[in-house]
């Protein structure tokens, strides 16, 4: 007899559940990544650029605003995915008992966790894509071409948040 | 015929605490089986092991003839679980709760919508289909949990305290729905500490305490065996009554300020008490499962 399999494509059903919820409150989900870069660019770009002036990096002369724009995207990917697999997943697991309900269906805990990780990466990629687009005018011409190549990478950058989700597995069945 | 549930020598220990200690029972097809016991008796732990939520420490669980530790996916596809806590998804509407749940069972969208519509109709929730779950009353939420448990048209329904915390109207409505499902031939395992519910719904039941099965049987048989036919409760019993009871070997519980006497079928104990010992308040009533439950599990508080 073959051993039971704990992983299958069914994790997509849980991913889909999160998408359904996201679409219900999409305005709230949409507005944060839309406003976040604007606030940062206002605060740092306008606030600091006068103090710092031009920045020399990689042989190029950049305005301070163009210099920090890529960093905003990088931190957005990280914080979005991290928030999703820690706070948001924990609320679903502990307070809403969403995982309890799902575990009474033909899904395994491993599939739920994979779904949460993939979802966090998806959401982070989505948020960062919005930010990237919004902050586009601030990007220097020489870096913007390279930035456009980063869209497909946004999803994978969200994955380092995986360990935080995996650690919840241990606490769940305790 | 193959049993729907077959549990043998089931144990569960949590870091030295024995929650379930050598439980064995079987549930036949189209039977409503009750798992009764005080709080902390191990009912929910047993149920959680049955649907594969918790692994067992020892023993075997076979559902539809399959082993839960190996064939959990096939088993879970054919059971419906109504958990004790409200596990409805508060991020979704009433209708979405059913649709998303159907998705977990890989039910095609069209079919899921049709079943969702029928179930909301059956549980009188159609008018609330676009409401948020948090806007539902306790009774409506419970009915939605039941509806959700039926979305995969299960062969076995597992109900963990289905009416706890409901008002009498909602409770009776849930009972009626469950009776309708029973007539259709559904098999169910119910945990409860509502004895009226157990008497009304269960064909057979076990009473569990401290992780052990204390007794197994049909509700009426258990009542006849452990609590007789009628019960007389005497307030402020006098010494004479105590002497009479002990010399005539009458089944009773002496609670100090109150004495509960169990009178078997065809006995004239009621009359004797009324004529000779009933100076204060006396209550005459039929024996119930609650009498059996209290006699077997004791009257001390559990928590």
Q: A161, exposed or middle or buried, with CB in 10 Å at 0-12, 13-18, 19+? A: buried
Cite the DSSP H helix spans in chain A: 11-24, 26-40, 47-52, 64-83, 89-90, 98-102, 109-134, 141-148, 151-157, 162-172
Q: State the pLDDT at residue A161.
A: 55
* Domains of chain B: residue spans and CATH: 5-218 (3.40.50.300), 229-286 (3.30.70)
Residue A14 contacts residue A102 (beta carbons within 8 Å) = yes
Residue B142 contacts residue B162 (beta carbons within 8 Å) = yes
Q: State the pLDDT at residue A137.
A: 74
Would you call B72 and A24 a contact, using CB atoms and an 8 Å cutoff? no
Which backbone phi and psi does B36 adopt, to 5 degrees? -110, 155
Residue B207 contacts residue B292 (beta carbons within 8 Å) = yes
- B96 contact residues in A (CB cutoff 8 A): 20, 24
Cβ neighbours, 10 Å, residue A65: 22
Cα–Cα distance, B106 to A15 (Å, whole number): 14
Q: What is the dihedral of CA A123, A127, A129, A131, to 10 degrees?
A: -170
Q: What is the dihedral of CA B129, A102, B203, B270, to 10 degrees?
A: -80
CB-nearest partner of B103 from A1, A13, A108:
A13
pLDDT above 50 (res B18):
yes
Would you call A97 and B105 a contact, using CB atoms and an 8 Å cutoff? no
Q: Find the chain B residues whose C-beta atoms sit closer than 8 A to any C-beta of A.
A: 51-54, 69-74, 76-77, 79-81, 83, 85-93, 96, 100-101, 103-106, 148-149, 152
Of A60-64, A99-103, A166-170, B243-247, the poorest mean pLDDT is in A166-170
B-contacting residues in A 59-78 (Cβ below 8 Å): none
Q: State the pLDDT at residue B162.
A: 93
Would you call B85 and A14 a contact, using CB atoms and an 8 Å cutoff? no
DSSP string, B109-141: HHHHHHHHHHHHHHTT-GGGTTSBGGGS-HHHH
Structure tokens that stand for B123 in this block: 């549980």
Q: State the pLDDT at residue B78.
A: 96
Structure tokens that stand for A82 in this block: 């991290």
Structure tokens that stand for B162 in this block: 């289905």
- B47 contact residues in A (CB cutoff 8 A): none
Of B181, B100, B87, B194, the closest CA to residue B142 belongs to B87
- B52 contact residues in A (CB cutoff 8 A): 103
A98 at B interface, C-beta within 8 A: yes
Q: What is the mean pLDDT of chain B?
A: 92
Would you call A20 and B100 a contact, using CB atoms and an 8 Å cutoff? yes
Would you call B76 and A106 a contact, using CB atoms and an 8 Å cutoff? yes
A101 at B interface, C-beta within 8 A: yes
Residue B205 contacts residue B220 (beta carbons within 8 Å) = no
Structure tokens that stand for A153 in this block: 């990478």
Interface test with A, best of B89, B95, B109 (most A CBs within 10 A): B89
Residue of A nearest to B67 (CA): A4
State the nearest Cα–Cα gap between B224 and chain A, in angstroms. 37
Q: A23, exposed or middle or buried, with CB in 10 Å at 0-12, 13-18, 19+? A: exposed
Q: Can you give the C-alpha Rg of chain A in angstroms?
A: 19
Rounded average pLDDT over B18-25? 93
A13 at B interface, C-beta within 8 A: yes
Cβ neighbours, 10 Å, residue B200: 15
- A6 contact residues in B (CB cutoff 8 A): none
Q: State the pLDDT at residue B266.
A: 78
Residue B37 contacts residue B192 (beta carbons within 8 Å) = no
Would you call B104 and A14 a contact, using CB atoms and an 8 Å cutoff? yes
pLDDT above 90 (res B273):
no
DSSP string, B53-114: SS--SEEEEEETTEETTTSHHHHHHTEEEE-SS----TTSBHHHHHHHHHHHTT--HHHHHH
Structure tokens that stand for B226 in this block: 């452990």
pTM (2 d.p.):
0.87
Would you call A97 and B91 a contact, using CB atoms and an 8 Å cutoff? no
CB-nearest partner of B81 from A10, A25, A104:
A104
Structure tokens that stand for B175 in this block: 């009972």
B123 contacts: CB under 8 Å, gap ≥ 6: B143, B144, B146, B147, B177
pLDDT tens readout for residues B228-251: 888 989 888 888 888 888 888 888
Structure tokens that stand for B49 in this block: 């092991």
Q: Categorise residue B204: left if φ over 0, alpha if ψ from -120 to 50, beta otherwise.
A: beta
Which backbone phi and psi does B242 adopt, to 5 degrees? -60, -40
Q: Among A135-144, B110-119, B224-233, B246-255, which range has the highest average pLDDT?
A: B110-119
Distances (CA, A) of B205 to B66, B178, B187, B200, B276: 23, 16, 13, 11, 38
A107 at B interface, C-beta within 8 A: yes
Cα–Cα distance, B173 to B178 (Å, whole number): 9
Residues making up chain B, counted from first to last: 303
Cα–Cα distance, B95 to A70 (Å, whole number): 42
Q: State the pLDDT at residue A174.
A: 38
Cα–Cα distance, B110 to B194 (Å, whole number): 39
Of B207, B301, B211, B209, the closest CA to residue B18 belongs to B211
Position with higher pLDDT, A171 vs B8:
B8
A106 at B interface, C-beta within 8 A: yes
State the nearest Cα–Cα gap between B166 and chain A, in angstroms. 20
Residue B93 contacts residue B127 (beta carbons within 8 Å) = no
Cα–Cα distance, B115 to B108 (Å, whole number): 11
Query: Confidence class of residue B56 from pLDDT cuts 50, 70 and 90?
Result: very high
pLDDT above 80 (res A4):
no
Would you call A13 and B104 a contact, using CB atoms and an 8 Å cutoff? yes
Cα–Cα distance, B59 to B45 (Å, whole number): 14
Would you call A106 and B70 a contact, using CB atoms and an 8 Å cutoff? no
């Amino acid at each position: 007899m073959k051993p039971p399999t704990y992983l299958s494509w069914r994790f997509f059903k849980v991913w889909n559940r999160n998408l359904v919820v996201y679409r219900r409150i999409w305005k709230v989900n949409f507005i944060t990544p839309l406003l976040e870069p604007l606030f940062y660019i206002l605060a740092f770009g306008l606030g600091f650029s006068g103090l710092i002036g031009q920045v020399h990096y990689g042989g190029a002369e950049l305005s301070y605003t163009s210099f920090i724009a890529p960093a905003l995207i990088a931190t957005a990917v990280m914080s979005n995915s991290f928030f999703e697999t820690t706070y948001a997943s924990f609320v679903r697991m502990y307070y809403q008992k969403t995982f309890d309900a799902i575990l009474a269906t033909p899904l395994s805990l491993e599939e739920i966790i994979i779904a949460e990780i993939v979802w966090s990466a998806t959401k982070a990629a989505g948020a960062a894509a919005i930010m990237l687009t919004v902050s586009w005018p601030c990007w220097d011409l020489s870096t913007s071409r390279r930035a456009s190549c980063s869209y497909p990478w946004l999803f994978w950058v969200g994955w380092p948040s995986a360990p935080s989700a995996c650690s919840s597995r241990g606490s769940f069945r305790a | 015929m193959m049993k729907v549930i077959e549990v043998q020598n089931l144990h569960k220990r949590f870091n030295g605490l024995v929650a379930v200690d050598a439980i064995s029972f079987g549930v036949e097809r189209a039977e409503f089986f009750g798992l009764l016991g005080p709080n902390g008796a191990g009912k929910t732990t047993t149920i959680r092991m049955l649907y594969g939520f918790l692994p067992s420490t020892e023993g075997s669980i076979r559902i539809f003839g399959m082993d839960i530790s190996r064939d959990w996916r096939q088993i879970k596809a054919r059971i419906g679980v109504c958990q004790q806590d409200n596990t409805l998804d508060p991020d979704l509407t009433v209708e979405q709760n059913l649709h998303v749940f159907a998705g977990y069972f890989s039910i095609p969208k069209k079919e899921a919508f049709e079943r969702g519509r029928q179930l909301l109709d059956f549980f009188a929730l159609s008018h609330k289909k676009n409401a948020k779950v948090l806007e539902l009353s306790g009774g409506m939420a419970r009915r939605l949990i039941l509806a959700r448990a039926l979305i995969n048209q299960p062969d076995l329904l597992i109900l963990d305290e289905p009416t706890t915390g409901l008002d009498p109207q909602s409770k009776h409505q849930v009972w009626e729905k469950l009776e309708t499902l029973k007539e259709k031939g559904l098999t169910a395992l119910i945990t409860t500490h509502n004895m009226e519910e157990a008497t009304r719904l269960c064909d057979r039941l076990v009473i569990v305490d401290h992780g052990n099965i204390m007794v197994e049987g049909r509700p009426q048989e258990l009542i006849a065996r452990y609590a007789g036919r009628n019960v007389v409760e005497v307030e402020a019993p006098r010494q004479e009554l105590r002497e009479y009871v002990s010399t005539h070997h009458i089944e009773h519980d002496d609670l100090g300020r109150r004495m509960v006497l169990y009178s078997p079928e065809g006995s004239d104990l009621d009359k004797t008490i009324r004529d000779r010992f009933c100076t204060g308040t006396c209550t005459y009533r039929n024996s119930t499962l609650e009498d059996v439950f209290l006699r077997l599990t004791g009257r001390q508080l559990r928590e």
